Amino acid sequence: MADAETRALTGSAAAAVLLMLFDEDEAAQILSRLEPEEVRQLGYAMYDVADVEVEEVNAALDQFVRKAKGRTTIGYGASQHIRGAMHKALGPDRADNMLAKITPPTRSTKLAMLKWMEPAEIAAIIELEHPQIMAIVLAHLDAAAAASVLQMLPGEVQDDVVYRVATLGPVSSEALDDLEQLLNTRPGHSRGGHSTTKRGGTSEAAAIMNNIRKDHEQRIIKALNKRDKVVAQSIEDEMFIFENLLELSDKDLGTVMRAIDSSVLVIALKGASDMLRNKILGCMSQRAAQSISDEMEERGPMRLAEVLEAQKQVIAEARRMGEEGTIMLGGKGDDYV
């Protein structure tokens, strides 16, 4: 048993220890199934545990065994198992015909490769393409990466691309096939099929906008307002959500809270995270905070729609104060001078 000074390896450190016990081929098979950020974290951890002690290895193995006992392997290699069973039961021809109808659609690895590419590389591939292609690509990236790519695209198309992300409907299989060919840097042709996939929307557009510089944001929002006020407003609404109140200083948050009716605040806080709830209550007098807490407890469970409506009222007041200059809303770094 490990002594008191032995490190308790958890999370990525414990996973790294287990991975180091496999040979290269086995470790490669495991890494190939992980997301880029998971591979990055494991890579760092593997270097950190390179001088791990025997007791720590045993502790990591014990932890793995405990967790493994509570899981099954029924989903591992499921596709191969189902295919084999179908072939034996129905024969190859009938089985393949049946599998063609019931197998969930999958995309090739080309689009999945986007998450492994650098923003500059992606921007270089799509900078001369139609804005709709740019929008589809951005909609397949996480918000931070999409924002980086957006800022590298020509300025005159940026608002158009954001608008297309916000209004992006189901994308046809043929369009995705063409996009895969583009990412392969070779001209190609669409394949058959009529399936679609849903990406984009105002939430994704807002997430991208939340990750770009303030000057870019203001310019793009201004252009979007000229193009479609409804879409622009929807994006702005999604850009500032209730949890963003965490970014306000205690002084500014207190200013907002004093302008909100207590009955509205009680409902709004029912859907807040513990961190935000504690921060908001901390901006009030002890008596006011206790009164809000007591009333929240008395109200019991509430309908989500009612909570969201109350939060919208709080957000609207915060936005109004921000526009008037009464408070300073959270930005993206050193955007204020």
Burial of 244 (0-12, 13-18, 19+ CB in 10 A): middle
Task: Judge whether 146 and 138 are in contact, CB under 8 Å.
Answer: yes
Ordered by start, the domain boundaries in the chain are 11-69, 109-222, 242-324
Mean per-residue pLDDT for 317-326? 84
Percent above pLDDT 90 for the chain = 14
Q: Tens of pLDDT along 81-128?
A: 777 778 887 787 777 777 766 665 554 445 667 777 888 888 888 888
Q: Tens of pLDDT along 238-269?
A: 777 788 888 888 899 999 999 999 999 999 99
Q: Tens of pLDDT along 14-48?
A: 777 777 778 888 778 777 777 776 777 777 777 77
- So what's the pLDDT on residue 4? 39
Pull the structure tokens for residue 20. 């180091």
Task: Judge whether 280 and 245 are in contact, CB under 8 Å.
Answer: yes
- So what's the pLDDT on residue 261? 92
Task: Judge whether 59 and 86 are in contact, CB under 8 Å.
Answer: no
Question: 10 Å Cβ neighbour count for 268?
Answer: 25
User: Treating both helix axes as pointing N-terminal to C-terminal, what angle do 155-166 and 229-239 enclose, rounded to 10 degrees?
Assistant: 80
Q: Which residues does residue 170 pair with via DSSP β-bridges, in sequence order?
A: 198
Task: Tell me which fold the domain 109-222 belongs to.
Answer: Annexin V; domain 1 (1.10.220)
- So what's the pLDDT on residue 153? 92
Torsion angles phi and psi, residue 241, rounded to 5? -110, 170
Q: 242-324 — its CATH code?
A: 1.10.220.30
Task: Judge whether 196 and 173 are in contact, CB under 8 Å.
Answer: yes
Q: Tens of pLDDT along 255-304?
A: 999 999 999 999 999 888 888 899 999 989 899 899 999 998 888 788 88
pTM of the model as a whole:
0.47
Pull the structure tokens for residue 57. 């290895």
- pLDDT category at 3 given cuts 50, 70, 90 is very low
**SS3 state of residue 196:** strand
Residue 49 has pLDDT above 80, yes or no: no
The Cα–Cα gap between 42 and 53 comes to: 18
- pLDDT category at 13 given cuts 50, 70, 90 is confident
